Amino acid sequence: MFGTIGKSPKLDGRCNSRLLMNIMEEMAEITSFGSAKKMATRNSKQRRSNFVVSLEKRRIDKN
């Protein structure tokens, strides 16, 4: 994204601790949202793979 915090357009050359805290909180929210999304995707992939395995077992049992 940005090389350093000093070059961030949001900071605009200032070094305000409250502003830095707000930015860090926003980054934490984005990270936690990304992690939650990744976990949901992994679970749905796991369910799909379990479904495929059960279909294969049925196919084998029929033969």
What mean pLDDT do residues 23-39 have?
Answer: 67
Domain borders along the chain are 5-62
Rounded to a whole number, what is the largest CA-CA distance in the chain? Answer: 72
pLDDT at 42 over 70: no
Per-residue model confidence (pLDDT) at position 1: 46
Provide, rounded to the nearest whole percent, the portion of the chain with pLDDT above 90. 0
Full-model pTM: 0.32
How far apart, in whole angstroms, are the C-alpha atoms of residue 25 and residue 36? 16
